[in-house]
Amino acid sequence: MEIPSNTLKRASIALLVALLMTTAGCSSFAGGDAGDTTAANETAETTETTASDVEGTANDTASSNDATAAETTAADATNESSDSDSDNHSHSHDSAANTSNESSVDAAYTGQMAVVVAGERVSLTEDLDEDAPVHMTDVDSWHTNESTTLAEALEAADVNATESSLTYDGETYEESNNGTKLIYRVDSHEVDPESYTLESDDKVWVLVVSDDSNVTTPGEYIPPEQLHVHGTIDFTVDGERLDFSRDKYQQAGHNDHFHFEGGHANPWHAHSAHVTLAYGMSTLDGINMTDEGVTYNGTTYAYDGDGDNATANVTVNGESVDPTDYYLKNGDSVSIEIASSD
């Protein structure tokens, strides 16, 4: 039987189309597998890279945290040290800076000196010239290689001092004038400036107190690292001594100009040359001083013994004083005795 040519052509076309579709399908499957494999490999590589990055980031973070922790620990240590210095205002700490300055100077004689005239601190560091017999390392610390009297040292700073008079900045102060007091003290001893020769470790105070100086108590504050005033006190009530080492009398939360510190009952510290005995004692809990008497725990004891509560006796270095106008000085030994009428 003869097959028509048209039919043969259609069959040929159909077969060709089928072959083409089959070939395309195989190529598609193969390409799909290859594509999936490539994607999987790329995904694996990406996953490995990501894991590596995460591990690296974790290590970096850990290192950063360790460094931060170390820095924090160091900062905490510094803060603790700072807080400790602030709270433990000890006597040795007070003089550490000045002691260091003195010991670092190669000189035959070293010490400390403060000169206060009518409420004004004389700047020895500015007034002393190169030819002066003494020199200042800082505001307090002096040194010399010569045998020098106190008067000679002061004269180099334009302070002319004798036992009974002192001239500074064109004004002369004389002990004989009412209301004027001249104090030349080395450690706790009064000296004659013209005859006293400076020695190593001397702590020298030269004070001129005048009624005309208009100094307001407690006066200009002296920082703890500078030369300030120390002394002792014995406060008794009917023979029983007050213990100034108790917490309520110590420095923390107390007055800056006058205080006890370091858990010690002695010495007391005065951070001004113009702290009166009455001012200092009146800063303490339960104590008040006036020109008429001493109040202790709510009871006032008169100096003259009048009234119902007997007497209060106040002396400094064995001499009776008016505590309202007596300025505490380095080395002072204060005694306050209260005897009740009971």
> What is the chain's length?
342
Burial class of residue 204 (count of CB atoms within 10 Å of its CB; 0-12, 13-18, 19+): buried
Residue 26, domain member (yes or no): no
Residue 66 in domain: no
**Statement to judge: residues 235 and 201 lie in one domain:** no
Interatomic CA distance for residues 323 and 313, integer angstroms: 11
Q: What is the pTM of this model?
A: 0.66
112 and 208 fall within a common domain: yes
Domain boundary among 161, 181, 213: 213
Question: Quick check: is 49 in a domain?
Answer: no
Residues of the chain with pLDDT > 70: what percent?
66
Residues 171-227 have pLDDT tens digits of 999 988 778 999 999 998 999 999 999 999 999 999 998 877 778 899 989 999 999
User: Do both 233 and 332 map to the same domain?
Assistant: yes
- The reply to whether 145 falls in a domain is yes
Question: Both 260 and 326 in a single domain?
Answer: yes
Assess whether 209 and 271 both reside in one domain.
no
> Which structural domain range is residue 263 located in?
229-339
Q: What is residue 316's predicted lDDT score, i.e. its pLDDT?
A: 96
Q: Would you say 334 and 234 are in contact if contact means Cβ atoms under 8 Å apart?
A: yes
> Last residue of a domain, which of 147, 179, 213?
213
Question: 272: closest CA among 135, 119, 66?
Answer: 119
* 204 and 294 fall within a common domain: no
Neighbours of 17 (CB within 10 A): 10
Domain end (from 183, 213, 243) = 213
Q: Please work out, in degrees rounded to the nearest 5, the angle formed at the alpha carbon of residue 340 by the alpha carbons of 339 and 342.
A: 130
* SS3 state of residue 239: coil
Within a domain: 334: yes
pLDDT of residue 193: 97
- Residue 287: per-residue pLDDT: 95
| Three-class SS state of 125 | helix
Cβ–Cβ contacts within 10 Å for residue 263, how many? Answer: 13
CA distance 180 to 332: 19
Judge whether 126 and 135 are in contact, CB under 8 Å. Answer: no
Question: Do 188 and 163 share a structural domain?
Answer: yes
Instruction: Confirm whether 209 is domain-assigned.
Output: yes
**CATH at residue 281:** 2.170.130
Domain contains 4: no
**What pLDDT is recorded for position 179?**
82
In terms of domains, do 120 and 185 share one? yes
Residue 119 CB partners (closer than 8 Å, separation 6+): 213, 214, 215, 219, 220, 274
Distance, in Å, from the CA atom of 272 to the CA atom of 222, rounded to the nearest integer, reads: 5
Number of domains in the chain: 2
Q: Residue 271 has what DSSP assignment?
A: S
CA 16 distance to own-chain centroid: 102
Question: Structure tokens of 16?
Answer: 């060709």
